[in-house]
Structure 1
Amino acid sequence: MAAEPVDHPNVIVVFTDQQRWDTTGVHGNPLDLTPEFDRLARAGTHAAQAFTPNPVCAPARASIQTGQYGTANGCHRNALKLPGEARTLAHHFGDAGYSTGYIGKWHLADTEPVPPEQRGGYDSWLGANVLEFTSDAYKTVVFDEDSTPVMLPGYRSDALFDAAIRFVGDHSGVGDGTRRQPFYLFLSVIEPHHQNEIDAYPAPEGYAERYDGRWMPPDLAALSAEGGTAHQHMGGYCGQVRRVDEGLGRLLDALRSLDLLDDTIVAVTSDHGCHFKTRNSEYKRSCHDASIRVPMALRGPGFEHGRRIDRPVSTIDLPPTLLDAAGLTVPDEMQGRSFLPLVRDPAAAWRDEVLVQVSESEVGRALRTPRWTYYVAAPEAHPWDDPGADRYVETALYDTVNDPHQLVNLAGLSSHRPVADELRARLTARMVDVGEREPEIEPAAPVATSPQRQVDPYIHTAGLKPERLGHQPPRGPADAR
């Protein structure tokens, strides 16, 4: 017997893998790679300054399931299973009467196929723990609720979107005259992630050729001369992004045809970005926007009318936001915050910074504000074994307003010492706020600066108060020079 209907919106999360924020048209990409995402962002809500809590697959995924940082939920790096006691979005929506489903890459288990007790509480299951190892571009192998392998036909992202459309159809109530309980679906595609065994970005036939040599992000254009794979892989990467966007369009069309579009919240984002081996020896795990900044847009109840959020938000804020928008209680253990108040009022109170934990390449912590990227690393910590450290050293400071491609590291410059000191205090407070021990953060080694290079305390946008830097703010127009 079907459950009694519940008066809450359906919720779908579309989660891509390793997608840079600047692949989208709403962020100025000239190739028209994401017309469906762009339309969704313009008609719904565009989180224009969205960041990951950790630029590594598993920690980012654990955070978007639990609303907690990796140091709190037990998944600070890859190859760690999500603890059995962890409460995910599936648990919270399921407790409220939702049908819950997961499709695609999971990466939060310790074996393949993922056993039922490691599936995060999802009722319907069609996934693989590490999808890039069980499949390739045209051979998609996932496992169902009985851990039976299922081969899905077509290009991989198409196959997963097809499965999502079937899930929506099966849970729509169309055909039986009833309105079933609302559903929550998490769709996790792997594109535009590289195919590991060939270290390439296999796009559908003909798609890479459309984009080869046509566009290069400015940061990669500047850094590729020193190495990296951007020129080799950008065509395939862009082709993958385009095909995923086409799948998003088909999913939205399915919702429209089933008369569910206006009753369904659709959120689209990614786990982290991609710097194509320009910042370190692989594709992510760095403090730069190429690694940590992601696309994010939502549509549906609560997110209509073309709104834009220009304050920094994190994908760790998405779980409480979705629960809040669905009219459900946000659990106290979630460390993210609902940004629904920002959707309703751009001037709402909000902490203008996000905390990013970096693992595996090194143990690091970053604070990203509207203007600054401040980063510290722990030289004595083991990057694989240690979730955190007691001692960090300032490693990077970028002025992302005046150096948007993060090419000039200002760490140690005497001209920026007051800014770094304030950001160090803010980072320390944020780390303690999410349950980490209060660390020692050593200043970067001093670097001599030209006396002409100064930071004006009156016009910077880091959120620092001039009087805290030893200055008095101007008292009137005559003093403002």
Structure 2
Amino acid sequence: MAHKNLIFICTDQMRFDALSINGNPIVRTSNIDGIGSRGMVFRRHYTPNQICSPSRASMATGLYPRHHGLWRNGVTLDPEIPNLWRFLQDKGYSTHASGKLHYQPLLAPESYAMPESLAFWERPDADCWRGPYYGFDTVDLVLGEANESTKAGHYAEWLKRHHPETVCLYEPEASSSERASDLTEVWKSAVPNELHYTSWITDRAIAFLQAADKEKPFCLYVSYPDPHHPFTPPAPYSDMFEPKAMPRPHVRPGELALMPAYLGTGDDPTANAYIPEGSPIREQGFLLKTDTISEETMGRVIAHTFGMVQMIDDSVGKLLAALRETGREDDTFVIFTSDHGELLGDHGLLRKGPPPYRQLIQVPLLISGPSINGGSVTDALTSHIDLFATLGQLLVNGAPATDGVSLVPILSGDVRDVREHLFTEYHPRKDRELYNQTIVSKDWRLTLYPNQREWGEFFDLNADPWEHRNLFDDTVYSPKINDLTKHLLENMPPRSSLPNQPLGAY
């Protein structure tokens, strides 16, 4: 079998319903939608962890975080663990990554010499380094989002060298509009669109495509830091959607009173979510309640998020046009997904955090390429842990054993489902009571907190698809809860402590 190529596109913190092909009534993501139109749209795809690094490591390795060891942000992925990128590299692929990887802590000490740490880029020879890295022959790294992206990494070094006047334009003080007083993380970026990291990532990816050896198959990983908070798109995307016309978040009065008690508290919306070195430990995701955030500001948050999504869609359009120009489109699989989602005001919450709400664990997945019938849609329960096995089978007719399963039978139309249940697991940074495990079926979502057994979450996904009514304490559902609990504990016994040492807060 002739080897095929791969373009793997990943975003950060994009909800399932951010795309028009998945029902978004505001954004028109025609370029991303085209991947699904030419291939298959997965409508029940989940991440096994709602935090960046663990989810990204699961995509790469096909393993649950408890098995690949990157169980929370601030921990390092062991480079010796087999991953998709090195697997394809060993099979003769040219491999390149452009954008955010997040396999190492931003605040790792200098002695570890980790390229995704701030300390690494204080070395005088850092900007000469471009790999190899986790199976990529070469990389063009972006570290962090918004104004954090200017501190370190290839993009930051490029910006400082070629456009030093642009660095300060990432700061909120440079914005042409007033910064929201009730949420510090929303402003209009003054950075020119063409110099923004979303554009730079796309340009570097296109440069790789144009220079790729046509005698070798390629694997290109393109990873955009947006639409992650802060909510700060550049013009024209910052003004593309009218805040007053944005859909209202899905909130039911009193719904959090039925949830675990920690959801009654959250971060300060007026505080900076970024954790400088030496700061007190805060829980991952910087979850906050929106009850002190005005309706006007929330409209801006949603409008800016949609603007970031639209910018990514335009960039994907440029990337796919460049692929067509190389003449290799018919031999290339294209996959689009996100590491996790965003609450975006639903349930009266913003950003992400410990609760495995649908808005955080259900993400887009679109796959197109040779032999995949266009216009296909599946409601099969699928997970990020399935991607290694799936792409290995599609590209080289096989892959090492992982925690996941190949989705090729779904893509070929041979089967409708590959499992009855999915599992997720959250390991906290600060409070051990927040450790939780989840089992999801097509009808139910059950979440247990092994270190705080009074807490639990149970939702009827048919009657309550937005998960507003927690039924955990309703005795009518005890038989079903007991059944799902047994299945969860048999397949994923609690492991609230894992050995991999944290090296930084982020």
Measured in 1, the distance between the counterparts of 2:420 and 2:139 equals: 37
1:202 lines up with 2:233 in the alignment: yes
Question: Aligned residue for 1:272?
Answer: 340
Aligned match of 1:329: 398
For the residues of structure 2 that align with 1:209 and 1:237, how far apart are their CA atoms? 11
Give, as a single letter, the amino acid of the residue that structure 2 aligns with 1:96. K
Alignment of 1:28-177 (within 5 A): 28-110=23-105, 111=108, 113-114=115-116, 119-131=133-145, 134-135=148-149, 142-143=153-154, 149-151=157-159, 154-171=195-212, 173=213
Distance 1:410 1:206, change over 3 A: same
Residue 236 of structure 1 corresponds to: 304
Higher helix share: 2
What SS does the corresponding residue of 1:150 show, helix, strand or coil?
Answer: helix
SS in 2 for 1:210: coil
AA partner of residue 94 (structure 2):
S
**TM-superposition CA deviations, 1:402-440 (whole Å, max 9, x none):** 1111110010211111111111122123315xxx6699x
Report matched runs for 1:257-296 at 5 Å: 257-276=325-344, 283-285=351-353, 286-296=355-365
Q: Aligned partners of 1:367, 1:277: CA distance in 2, in Å?
A: 24
- Aligned equivalents of 2:226 and 2:138: distance in 1? 22
Which residue does 1:9 correspond to in 2?
4
Q: Distance between the aligned counterparts of 1:10 and 1:106, measured in 2?
A: 20
User: Which one-letter code corresponds to 2:200 in the other structure?
Assistant: A
Alignment pair present for 1:379 and 2:420: no
Report deviation, 1:311. 1.0
Moved more, 70-79 or 223-232: 223-232
Higher RCO (CA-CA < 8 Å; seq separation 6+): 2
C-alpha deviations, 1:382-408, integer Å up to 9, x for none? xxxxxxxxxx55510011111111110
Q: CA deviation at 1:185?
A: 1.2
**Matched residues in 2 for 1:225 and 1:70: separation?**
30
**CA 1:168–1:403 in structure 2 vs 1: closer, same or farther (change >3 Å)?**
same
- What's the Cα RMSD here? 2.8
Alpha-carbon separation, structure 2, partners of 1:54 and 1:295: 15
How many angstroms apart in 2 are the aligned matches of 1:15 and 1:282?
A: 21
Contact 2:246–2:299 under 8 Å retained in 1: no
Classify 1:211/1:371 alpha carbon distance in 2 versus 1 (closer, same or farther; 3 Å): farther
Q: In structure 2, what residue type is equivalent to 1:406?
A: E
- Which of 220, 223, 245 matches 1:214? 245
CA–CA distance in 2 between the matches of 1:363 and 1:227? 27
Q: Please identify, of 126-135 and 241-250, the stretch whose mean Cα deviation from structure 2 is larger.
A: 126-135
Question: What is the CA distance between 1:192 and its match in structure 2?
Answer: 0.3
Distance of 1:315 and 1:302 partners within structure 2? 22
Cα distance in 2 between the residues matched to 1:120 and 1:281: 35
| Contact persistence 2:344–2:350 (CA under 8 A) | yes
TM-score of the superposed pair, with normalisation by structure 1: 0.77
Report if the CA contact (8 A) 1:208-1:237 is conserved: no
**Shift >4 Å, 4+ stretches:** 115-118, 131-134, 220-229, 277-282, 436-439
| Matched residues, number | 403
- The equivalent residue for 1:479 is none
Aligned AA for 2:438?
A
Give the Å deviation of 1:121: 2.2
Q: Is the 8 A contact 2:250 2:346 kept in 1?
A: no
Is the Cα–Cα contact under 8 Å of residues 146 and 232 in structure 2 kept in the other structure? no
Q: Is 1:366 the counterpart of 2:442 in the alignment?
A: no
1:188 & 1:75 partners in 2: Cα distance?
19
Query: What is the rounded CA distance, in whole Å, between the counterparts of 2:220 and 2:24 in structure 1?
Result: 29
Cα offset for 1:61?
0.8
Partner of 1:476: none
Distance 1:292 1:33, change over 3 A: same
Q: Are 1:210 and 1:239, in contact at CA under 8 Å, matched by a contact in 2?
A: yes
Aligned twin of 2:186: none
Give how far 1:347 is off.
3.4
Which runs of 5 or more residues in structure 1 are unaligned? Answer: 1-5, 174-178, 381-391, 440-481
Compute the displacement of 1:217 (Å): 5.8
Structure 1 residues 364-373 or 345-354, which shifts more? 345-354
The answer on whether the counterparts of 1:313 and 1:353 sit within 8 Å (CA) in structure 2 is no
CA contact (8 A) 2:6 2:333 kept: yes
Unaligned runs of 5+ residues in structure 2 are: 109-113, 121-128, 163-193, 256-288, 498-506
Please report the TM-score for the alignment, with normalisation by the length of structure 2: 0.73
* Counterpart-to-counterpart distance in 2, 1:262 and 1:209: 34
Amino acid at match of 1:404: P
Distance in 2, matches of 1:16 and 1:276, equals 16
The 1:59–1:217 alpha-carbon spacing in structure 2 relative to 1, beyond 3 Å, is: farther
CA contact (8 A) 2:41 2:365 kept: yes
Deviation digits for residues 235-274 of structure 1, max 9, x if unmatched? Answer: 1000000110111111111111111111111100001111
Deviation, 1:36, is: 1.4
Q: Give the counterpart letter for 1:30 in structure 2.
A: P
Contact 1:227 1:277 in 2 (8 A): no
**For residues 68 and 28 of structure 1, do their structure 2 counterparts lie closer, same or farther at Cα, with a shift above 3 Å needed?**
same
Instruction: State the distance in 2 between where 1:150 and 1:92 align.
Output: 30
Q: Compared with structure 1, are the counterparts of its residues 215 and 134 closer, same or farther at alpha carbon in structure 2 (3 Å cutoff)?
A: closer
Whichever structure has more strand as a proportion of its residues is 1
Q: How much does 1:134 deviate?
A: 4.3
Mark the CA change 1:120 to 1:400 in structure 2 (over 3 Å): closer, same or farther.
same
Shift of 1:155: 2.2
Separation in 1 of the partners of 2:393 and 2:339?
21
Q: Could you tell me which residue of structure 1 aligns to residue 220 of structure 2?
A: 185
> How far apart are 1:355 and its partner, in Å?
0.7
Q: Aligned pair in 2 of structure 1 residues 347, 90: CA closer, same or farther (>3 Å)? A: closer
Distance 1:282 1:75, change over 3 A: farther
Instruction: Give the structure 1 partner of residue 474 of structure 2.
Output: 413
Aligned-pair distance for 1:346?
5.9
Among residues 327, 331, 353, which one is paired with 2:421 in the alignment?
Answer: 353
Partner SS, residue 71 of structure 1: helix
> How big is each residue's C-alpha offset from its partner over 1:133-178, in whole Å with a ceiling of 9 and x where there is no partner?
642xxx696328xxx933385222121111111111111x4xxxxx
Matched AA of 2:103: L
> How many angstroms does 1:349 deviate by?
5.3
